[in-house]
Amino acid sequence: MANHRFSVVSGSEEEEACCSKKAKICLGVFLGLLVLVTVAVVVGILMGRRSPKWNGKGSTVDFQEIILRRCYTYIRVVQPELGDRDCQKIKKAFTDAFISKDPCSAREEDYDLLMKLGHQTVPCDKTVFWSKTKELAHQYTKTQKELFTLENTLLGYIADDLSWCGKVGSSEINLESCPDRRNCNSNFVSVFWNLLSKRMSSPIKPSDDTSTHHHSFATYEKLQVKIIQLSPFDTQKCTSCRKCLWDGAGVSQWIHQ
């Protein structure tokens, strides 16, 4: 009888051990699945928040520091007469124009405050417009220091050769990639330069405008330049326009119109 009772207890313990082992296995499988589902959900959320890959390069590293440094250089060295400009406010207005916004949703109004803070009157008869002849135009303004290209103005100077865009709903600058015209025309860099071009050309008085163009331009590209830069001109005020045609080999020809 004692042996029989011992045998029954032993069997019960084995069954309990077996059930306990199965329960642990089931619990382990459940926890494993729970972890996998959680990871998948988190990855999905993060992937959904990632900025799309654009065709253009990302924002210039240290963008804010660069525009602040350039601003101080311009108002202290290049054009000291603009020494009353507030570079800190200009930096903030520039960044606020695009930060946390859809990189393909830029509007001219986004730059209203920046344009106001960086307003600059270009002297009559001193404007030089260029398209695909940046090096030539700047060589010309270096020898004719009284002339202005976009890059010789305060806002053009601080933004020259920089790239910038933000991320939707984020306070960070997008360093990965930014849209260019292959993605959308309403990217923040293109809208900025188009707006600056129009503002620079609009106040032209009765005088003479100078522009440089490469002779190999396609018809559409010529038309685009005229739309952006020449459309605000008042023909009653701008009485003449000089164009420099450059053949790419260093040979140029001035044409009076």
Predicted confidence (pLDDT) per residue in 182-215, tens digit: 999 999 999 999 998 888 766 544 334 444 443 3
**Measured between alpha carbons, how far is 54 from 255 in angstroms, rounded to an integer?**
40
Residue 245: band (very low, low, confident or very high) from pLDDT cuts 50, 70, 90: low
Residue type, 181: R
Q: Mean pLDDT throughout 160-186?
A: 95
More confident residue, 109 or 229: 109
> Which residue, 122, 120, 153, 151, is CA-closest to 138?
151
Res 216: pLDDT: 37
**Average pLDDT of the chain, as a whole number:** 74
SS3 197: helix
* Total-model pTM: 0.62
Does residue 220 have a pLDDT over 70? Answer: no
User: For 67-88, what is the mean pLDDT?
Assistant: 96
Q: Please state, in angstroms and rounded to a whole number, the distance separating the CA atoms of residues 220 and 86.
A: 39
* Across 65-94, average pLDDT: 97
Domain boundaries, the chain: 57-256
Q: How far is CA 81 from the centre of its chain?
A: 29
Which range among 89-93, 125-129, 237-241, 247-251 shows the weakest confidence by mean pLDDT?
Answer: 247-251
Q: Please name the fold of domain 57-256.
A: ADP Ribosyl Cyclase; Chain A, domain 1 (1.20.82)
Specify the pLDDT at position 21: 66
166: which DSSP letter? B
Q: Is the pLDDT of residue 170 over 70?
A: yes
Angle between helical axes of 87-98 and 188-201 (0-180°, round to 10): 130
Give the pLDDT band (50/70/90) at residue 252: low
Distance CA 204, CA 236 (A): 11
- Work out the pLDDT band at 69, boundaries 50, 70, 90: very high
247: which 2 tokens? Answer: 């053949």
Compute the C-alpha angle 81/83/89, nearest 5°: 140
pLDDT of res. 203 = 53
The pair of three-digit structure tokens given for residue 22, joined into one six-digit string: 């199965």
Find tokens 């000089």 and name the residue.
242
Q: State what percent of residues in the chain have pLDDT above 90.
A: 42
Helices marked H in the chain: 2-49, 63-73, 87-98, 112-117, 134-143, 154-159, 188-201, 219-225
At residue 44, what is the residue type? G
For residue 51, the model assigns a pLDDT of 53
Higher pLDDT, 213 or 139: 139
Residue 249's alpha-carbon distances to 180, 215, 246, 252, in angstroms, are 29, 11, 8, 9
